[in-house]
Amino acid sequence: MATLKQYFDTDFKLLSAHQTYIFDSETEKIEVICRVHYDFDANVIFVSYYVPDLKDVVPLCIKLIEDLDWAEKMIADIPVEQGKPGSESVISTNLQFSGQIHLYSEVDLSLEDLELLKDHGKRTGRSVRFQGPKYASERSKLEKPLAFLSHDTRDKDEIARPLALRLITMMCPVWYDEYSLKLGSSLRQSIETGLKECKKCVLILTPNFLSNTGWTKTEFNSVFTREILERTNVVIPVWYGVTAREVYEYSPSLADRVAIEWSKGIDEVSRKIYRSVTS
């Protein structure tokens, strides 16, 4: 199931800039992600926040609604220019603030607290939209993952996470551990569920993956067992820095599969995976 953080990362398919804000109260200290989104088609700017788990979230939300100095400074300090062929370019500093503030909080609020935030926003000329865990839960019920991303942990930053985000923005939901695993959930059970329910399994084959004899090997064996039982092709191999000989040594049958070369670029890799998963 997708998490609230995943939706925060992918809901707005626009150019954006972000920074972090440290909220330090008497009892807690958390890091809030603050983003400015540039909608050049509508000529407006709006902001969004991701607030981790916090006991007393309402005062922080009010502060985030009121204080937009950080956004004004970011817009002024980092001007962005964008334009379509044949049309005049638009500079981000000329865009108008729409008044929209999107709050993603890991704590659901009562109806009274929600009305409090919305009323506070109206008094400051801002439209507040709040999304909590219930929003993520209800929405995820309609978004069953189509592909399972099997990868080595050491390849997260450079390959797995960017690929997961790109596929999600293409409306291709994926099972990816950072988004699909909940705190306290069974790792084995969650992975096995993902492997069984997803239409395809994307194997991100790297030197790290091939040398890993732990979870990635377990996932690999589970996928091939499923292929034997269902008599269908489930695996989509993505090669990154590996040779045909190395893949053959890992699995002769895997070396015979048509693979996608990461060197083609993330756009081409994502497009091919999307076509395979949705066809």
**Roughly how many angstroms between the first and final C-alpha of the chain, as a whole number?**
22
Query: Active site residue: 26, 143, 219, 246, which one?
Result: 219
Cα separation, 184 vs 205, whole angstroms: 28
| The three-state (H, E, C) secondary structure of the chain, written as one string | CCCHHHHHHHCCCCEEEEEEEEEECCCCEEEEEEEEEEECCCCEEEEEEEECCCCCHHHHHHHHHHCCHHHHHHHHHCCCEECCCCCCCEEHHHCEEEEEEEEEECCCCCHHHHHHHHHHHHHCCCEEEEECHHHHHHHHCCCCCCEEEECCHHHHHHHHHHHHHHHHHCCCCEECHHHHCCCCCCHHHHHHHHHHHCCEEEEEECHHHHHCCCHHHHHHHHHHHHHHHHCCCCEEEEECCCCHHHHHHHCHHHHCCCCEEHHHCHHHHHHHHHHHHHC
Catalytic residue check, 219: yes
Active site residues: 219
